């Protein structure tokens, strides 16, 4: 991520014409591996990343962030490092400490060099070749950590100029890392400030994957303003799934200076299709995108609306993350609400009529003056093509910042309608939507009514 993205617009190039089938690679023991478009940990258990980015290189003193991110439910942290070409180099000792912090908190470490951001357009950025030099210079602290570390060669290599060289440069970097003895799963970012509007990564991913002697490379797309509709998101990610190529959303936000990404669709599609995602970013943003902070001043007890959304919302980290099996423990802990107000629910009490639906309203989290609400919509004994939910607040509460539904109100009466990707529900199937609300005094659970369409 750069603090102000430059995007030239979507280009229409030839789509993938063939479906690739990649079997289990001959992978070094005890490390991550890729097979049939999926990522597996060292125990052979499929691993789906659910986590956030942390700007370690600019805030090296914020080491408590690893534990705080874990406590909120994440299984992965993508750590910003610097090769010394643009920002102060993270030493081998510092990287070793980062890895130890990840392991102590049972997180998978995705380590990335940020100095490559926007090469070709940003004159201060460096090349993938220089980033590869850095990885090889600290190889001694990476070797032996294949169970816990994924090497993300360079952040957003290439801006919107010179990106035609992406495939060759990326393949060469991968081969150099393998020759240098690194057997880790490698992650590679897309060009065009990570957003691949030119489809350069999409259309050359098979070639780059095959350039890896170990067939152990994962592709990373960054989703900001280019990905502002569910159709664009599902089309891009779906092509990798169809091709049997591993893809993760290595960065995304709920808003950005280049447009309004559809974070709800990103999270919903990723969850439905077993695709990892890593939101940007924990804290410390500047340059006009401070709104992308998930925690105010690195404080896990001061989550922003974006932090609440990604950690506690529908298809969010808390609900969907599963700890890597190499840590062999119970599921990760979850955060305690700022105020100890227990969740309350009004579940369906009778079976809905054929073709109908019911709704259950839950207060998921509450703090002084605010709360997070969630509503579960369940189809009846027949499939439905859409739904709307209606409720009236009795004590002056308000609702805003909704996800997975379009919410409107007339005074204290609110109506939530499905969005394009969650309206059709099979018989007995459910979906959820959520919102951030405000309250003053008391916050009783309202009665809700669901209407199918």
Q: Which residues are catalytic?
A: 156, 251
Give yes or no for a contact between 27 and 33, defined as CB atoms under 8 angstroms apart. Answer: yes
> Which long-range contacts (C-beta less than 8 Å, at least 24 apart) are formed by 208-211?
208/167, 208/170, 208/171, 208/174, 209/20, 209/22, 209/245, 211/171, 211/174, 211/175
CA 184 – CA 149 distance, rounded (Å): 7
Q: Distance of CA 368 to CAs 266, 335, 405, 431, Å?
A: 30, 16, 25, 28
The phi, psi pair for 237, rounded to 5°, reads: -65, -35
Q: Angle formed by the axes of helices 166-179 and 200-211, to 10°? A: 30
Q: Give the H/E segment covering residue 186.
A: strand 186-189
Q: Distance of CA 403 to CAs 168, 183, 309, 361, Å?
A: 40, 40, 8, 15
Residue whose structure tokens are 């943003």: 285
Give the tokens for residue 374. Answer: 């969630």
> How many angstroms separate the first and last alpha carbons of the chain?
41
Give the tokens for residue 114. Answer: 């940020």
Other CB atoms within 10 Å distance of the CB of residue 48? 20
């Amino acid at each position: 991520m750069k603090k102000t993205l430059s995007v030239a617009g979507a280009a229409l190039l030839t789509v993938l014409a063939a479906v690739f089938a990649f079997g289990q690679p001959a992978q070094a023991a005890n490390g991550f591996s890729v097979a049939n478009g999926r990522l597996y940990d060292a125990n052979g258990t499929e691993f789906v990343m659910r986590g956030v980015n942390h700007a370690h290189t600019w805030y090296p003193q914020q080491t408590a962030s690893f534990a705080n991110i874990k406590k909120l439910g994440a299984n992965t942290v993508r750590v910003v490092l610097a090769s010394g070409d643009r920002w102060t180099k993270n030493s081998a000792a510092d990287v070793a400490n980062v890895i130890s912090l990840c392991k102590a908190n049972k997180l998978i470490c995705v380590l990335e060099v940020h100095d490559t951001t926007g090469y070709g357009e940003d004159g201060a950025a460096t090349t993938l070749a220089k980033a590869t030099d850095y990885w090889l210079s600290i190889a001694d602290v990476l070797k032996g950590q294949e169970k816990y570390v994924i090497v993300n060669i360079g952040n957003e290599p290439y801006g919107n100029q010179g990106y035609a060289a992406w495939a060759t440069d990326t393949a060469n970097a991968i081969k150099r890392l393998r020759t240098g003895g690194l057997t880790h799963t490698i992650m590679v970012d897309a060009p065009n400030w990570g957003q691949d509007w030119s489809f350069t990564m999409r259309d050359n991913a098979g070639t780059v994957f095959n350039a890896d002697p170990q067939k152990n490379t994962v592709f990373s797309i960054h989703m900001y303003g280019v990905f502002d509709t569910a159709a664009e998101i599902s089309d891009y990610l779906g092509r990798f799934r169809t091709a049997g190529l591993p893809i993760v959303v290595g960065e995304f936000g709920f808003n950005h200076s280049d447009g309004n990404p559809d974070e709800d669709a990103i999270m919903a599609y990723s969850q439905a299709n077993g695709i990892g995602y890593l939101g940007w970013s924990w804290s410390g943003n500047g340059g006009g995108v401070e709104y992308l902070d998930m925690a105010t001043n690195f404080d896990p007890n001061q989550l922003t609306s974006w932090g609440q959304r990604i950690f506690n919302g529908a298809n969010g980290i808390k609900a969907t993350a599963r700890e890597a099996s190499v840590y062999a423990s119970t599921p990760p802990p979850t955060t305690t609400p700022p105020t100890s107000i227990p969740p309350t629910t009004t579940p369906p009490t009778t079976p809905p009529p054929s073709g109908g639906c019911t709704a259950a309203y839950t207060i998921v989290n509450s703090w002084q003056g605010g709360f997070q609400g969630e509503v579960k919509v369940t189809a009846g004994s027949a499939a439905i093509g859409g739904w709307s939910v209606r409720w009236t607040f009795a004590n002056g509460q308000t609702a805003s910042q909704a996800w997975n539904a379009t919410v409107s109100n007339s005074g204290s009466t609110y109506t939530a309608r499905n969005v394009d990707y969650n309206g059709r529900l099979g018989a007995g199937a459910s979906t959820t939507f959520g919102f951030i609300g405000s309250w003053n005094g008391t916050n009783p659970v309202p009665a809700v009514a669901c209407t199918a369409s």
